[in-house]
């Protein structure tokens, strides 16, 4: 009986020790709470930036953010550091933070890449889209048309995403759709176009209907063409709207690179989708146009890279005369 009681006492003691070992210390508990607060602030700020509620160039005031979330400044600063790693904000000395502004150069490049990826995905979708998906796309177009008439920018943006997701989810190619989603997440504020230029909603939905028509007719080339053109139209609208909305010119970017990307868009459209391989530019062969345009682009790049360099031939001549 004594032995049994002793065994029970030992077991109880071991159990208490095990519980004590598993229990977090006060430092661990406070660390977990701090991480939770940081995560909440980070998620909220990220959503506001990507949704466009916090537009590019907006200053993020730490004290106000802390008061809104009922936290100290520390979790806010940690959240801002995470957003800086995501390349969504610029954290300046003395605690100033601003939502990052992309240059025209970066916007041109992003839209060009999106046009290539989403154009390819839409082309591939021709082989996989079902009648059910086509009806869903048509219904979304009807809803977006109502939003455009009522100038409901927020709802239109949600339906716009749903429209393109419905196309890409018809595909079995997860890596392609993942790349597209990642670009969406990194540059979600590009949908600010609809806020700055409400008329773009009508243009955008007309292009959506062209995409649906191409998918329904099972035209691979037309589906890719209208999807690519849709993205480049969105890019032009965004650049125009941003320049009209903001008087800042510091983020204009390298004009030669911007022009080069514009030219690449033309080359791609001409070489990929011109009827019967012929360019709209005077009936020239599209590949010949692409080669001549690429040659012009290389020459322009060489001229740009030489600007500002010293003329070494003059230096060599001067040395020779000595």
> How does pLDDT run along the chain (322 residues), one tens digit per residue?
445 565 566 556 555 545 444 444 444 444 444 458 889 999 999 888 877 778 778 899 989 999 999 999 999 999 999 988 888 888 887 768 998 887 778 888 888 899 999 999 999 999 999 999 999 999 999 999 999 999 898 899 889 999 999 999 999 998 999 999 888 877 777 777 787 788 899 999 999 999 999 999 999 999 999 999 999 899 888 888 777 766 543 444 455 555 555 665 665 555 555 543 444 444 444 445 545 555 655 555 555 444 444 454 454 555 555 5
Confidence at residue 297, expressed as pLDDT on a 0 to 100 scale: 54
300: left (phi over 0), alpha (psi -120 to 50) or beta: alpha
User: CATH top-level class for 32-100?
Assistant: mainly alpha
Bridge partners of residue 59, in order along the sequence:
98
CATH topology of domain 104-253: 1.20.120
Quickly tell me which residue has 């996989």 as its tokens: 128
C-alpha neighbours within 13 Å on the C-beta side of residue 152: 12
Cα–Cα distance between 319 and 322 in angstroms, integer? 5
Confidence at residue 65, expressed as pLDDT on a 0 to 100 scale: 92
Domain with CATH 1.20.120.530 in the chain: 104-253
Confidence at residue 255, expressed as pLDDT on a 0 to 100 scale: 55
Bridge partners of residue 99, in order along the sequence:
89
Domain with CATH 1.10.10.10 in the chain: 32-100
277: left (phi over 0), alpha (psi -120 to 50) or beta: left
Cα–Cα distance between 104 and 85 in angstroms, integer? 21
Q: How far is CA 53 from CA 48, 49, 87, 99, 188, in A?
A: 5, 6, 17, 11, 11
Indicate the pTM of the whole model: 0.64
């Amino acid at each position: 009986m004594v032995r049994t009681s002793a065994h029970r006492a030992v077991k109880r003691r071991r159990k208490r020790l095990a519980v004590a070992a598993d229990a977090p210390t006060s430092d661990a508990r406070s660390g977990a709470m701090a991480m939770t607060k940081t995560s909440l602030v980070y998620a909220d700020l990220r959503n506001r930036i990507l949704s466009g509620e916090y537009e590019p160039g907006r200053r993020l005031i730490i004290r106000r953010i802390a008061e809104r979330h009922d936290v100290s400044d520390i979790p806010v600063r940690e959240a801002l550091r995470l957003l800086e790693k995501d390349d969504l904000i610029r954290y300046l000395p003395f605690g100033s933070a601003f939502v990052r502004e992309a240059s025209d150069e970066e916007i041109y490049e992003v839209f060009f890449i999106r046009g290539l990826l989403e154009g390819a995905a839409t082309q591939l979708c021709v082989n996989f889209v079902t009648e059910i998906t086509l009806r869903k796309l048509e219904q979304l177009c009807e809803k977006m048309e109502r939003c455009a008439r009522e100038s409901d920018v927020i709802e239109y943006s949600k339906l716009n995403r749903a429209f393109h997701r419905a196309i890409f989810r018809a595909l079995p190619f997860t890596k392609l759709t993942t790349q597209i989603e990642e670009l969406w997440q990194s540059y979600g504020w590009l949908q600010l176009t609809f806020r700055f230029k409400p008329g773009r909603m009508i243009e955008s939905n007309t292009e959506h209907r062209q995409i649906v028509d191409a998918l329904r007719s099972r035209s691979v080339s037309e589906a890719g063409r209208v999807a690519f053109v849709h993205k480049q139209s969105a890019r032009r609208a965004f650049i125009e709207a941003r320049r009209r909305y903001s008087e800042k010119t510091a983020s204009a970017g390298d004009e030669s690179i911007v022009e080069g990307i514009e030219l690449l868009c033309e080359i791609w459209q001409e070489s990929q989708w011109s009827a019967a391989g012929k360019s709209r530019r005077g009936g020239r062969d599209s590949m010949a146009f692409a080669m001549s345009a690429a040659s012009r682009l290389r020459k322009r790049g060489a001229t740009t890279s030489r600007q500002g360099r010293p003329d070494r031939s003059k230096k060599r001549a001067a040395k020779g005369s000595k």
